Amino acid sequence: MHEYSIVQALYDNVVTHAVARGATTVQEIRVRIGQLSGVDPELLETAWRTFKVHTICEDAPMAIEVVAAEWACRECRQPAPPAGIRRCATCGGALKLVQGDEIVLERIVMEVA
Amino acid sequence: MCDSCGCGDTNVVPLDVQQRILSENERGAAHNRHHFVERSLVAINVMGSPGAGKTALLEATARALGGQRRIGALAGDLATDNDARRLEAAGIRAHAINTGSACHLDAAMVHRALHHMPWKDLDYLFIENVGNLVCPAVYDLGQAANVVILSVTEGEDKPLKYPVMFHKADLVLISKVDLLPHLPNIRLERIVDSLSRVMPEPHHIAVSATSGDGIDKWIDWLASHEAQRLRPEGSGEASDHHHHDHHHHEGHVHHE
Residue B80's pLDDT band, with cuts at 50, 70 and 90, is confident
The span from the CA of B208 to the CA of B107, in Å, is 30
Percent of chain B clearing pLDDT 70 (strictly above): 84
Distance from CA of A112 to the nearest CA of B (A): 5
A47 and chain B in contact, CB less than 8 A: no
For residues B185 and B10, the model is more confident at B185
What local confidence, expressed as pLDDT, does residue B4 receive? 53
To the nearest 10 degrees (0 to 180), the angle between helices B23-38 and B107-114 is 40
Q: Are B180 and B229 in contact (CB under 8 A)?
A: no
Q: What is the DSSP string of B141-210?
A: -S-SEEEEEEEGGG-TTHHHHSHHHHHT-SEEEEE-GGGGGG-TT--HHHHHHHHHTT-SS--EEE--TT
Give the A:B interface size as CB pairs under 8 Å: 106
Compute the mean pLDDT over every residue in chain B, rounded to the nearest whole number: 88
- Using the predicted structure, report yes or no on whether residue A94 has a pLDDT greater than 70: yes
Contacts of A95 in chain B (CB under 8 A): 200
- Using the predicted structure, report yes or no on whether residue B214 has a pLDDT greater than 60: yes
- Using the predicted structure, report yes or no on whether residue A31 has a pLDDT greater than 80: yes
What local confidence, expressed as pLDDT, does residue B78 receive? 84
- Using the predicted structure, report yes or no on whether residue A50 has a pLDDT greater than 90: yes
Give the chain A residue whose CA is nearest to the CA of B138: A38
Distance from CA of B178 to the nearest CA of A (A): 27
Work out the number of other CB atoms within 10 angstroms of the CB of residue B35: 17
- Using the predicted structure, report yes or no on whether residue B235 has a pLDDT greater than 50: no
For residues A58 and B99, the model is more confident at A58
Residue B248's pLDDT band, with cuts at 50, 70 and 90, is very low
Residue B240's pLDDT band, with cuts at 50, 70 and 90, is very low
Q: Going by C-beta distance under 8 Å and a sequence separation of 6 or more, which residues neighbour residue A54?
A: none
Residue A91's pLDDT band, with cuts at 50, 70 and 90, is very high
CB pair distance less than 8 Å for A87 and B200: yes
Contacts of B164 in chain A (CB under 8 A): 36-38
CB pair distance less than 8 Å for B3 and A109: yes
Please state the φ and ψ torsions of residue B128, each to the nearest 5 degrees. Answer: -80, 105
- Using the predicted structure, report yes or no on whether residue A16 has a pLDDT greater than 50: yes
The span from the CA of A75 to the CA of A88, in Å, is 9
Q: From the candidates B1, B5, B10, B17, which should be mutated to test the interface with A, based on the most A CB atoms within 10 A?
A: B17
The span from the CA of A95 to the CA of B163, in Å, is 14
What local confidence, expressed as pLDDT, does residue B63 receive? 96
What local confidence, expressed as pLDDT, does residue B100 receive? 86
Specify the amino acid at residue A43: L
Contacts of B129 in chain A (CB under 8 A): none
- Using the predicted structure, report yes or no on whether residue B38 has a pLDDT greater than 90: yes
CB contact residues (below 8 A), chain A span 83-102, against chain B: 83-87, 94-97, 102
Q: Give CA torsion, residues B131, B249, A69, A72, to 10 deg.
A: -170
Distance from CA of B184 to the nearest CA of A (A): 25
CB pair distance less than 8 Å for A13 and B19: yes
The span from the CA of B131 to the CA of B136, in Å, is 9
Q: Are B225 and B144 in contact (CB under 8 A)?
A: yes
Q: What is the pLDDT of residues B173-199, one digit of tens each?
A: 999 999 999 999 999 999 999 999 999
CB pair distance less than 8 Å for B11 and A103: no
The span from the CA of A18 to the CA of A110, in Å, is 7
Beta strands in A1-113 (DSSP E): 23-34, 62-67, 70-73, 79-80, 95-99, 103-112
Distance from CA of B165 to the nearest CA of A (A): 8
What DSSP character marks residue B118?
-
What local confidence, expressed as pLDDT, does residue A84 receive? 96
Task: Count the residues in chain B.
Answer: 256
Compute the mean pLDDT over every residue in chain A, rounded to the nearest whole number: 96
CB pair distance less than 8 Å for A5 and B104: yes
The span from the CA of B128 to the CA of B118, in Å, is 17
Task: Count the residues in chain A.
Answer: 113
Mean pLDDT of B130-155: 96
- Using the predicted structure, report yes or no on whether residue B231 has a pLDDT greater than 60: no
Contacts of A25 in chain B (CB under 8 A): none
Give the chain B residue whose CA is nearest to the CA of A87: B200
Q: From the candidates B11, B15, B109, which should be mutated to test the interface with A, based on the most A CB atoms within 10 A?
A: B15
- Using the predicted structure, report yes or no on whether residue A54 has a pLDDT greater than 90: yes
Residue B102's pLDDT band, with cuts at 50, 70 and 90, is confident
B249 φψ region: left (φ > 0), alpha (ψ -120 to 50), beta (else): beta
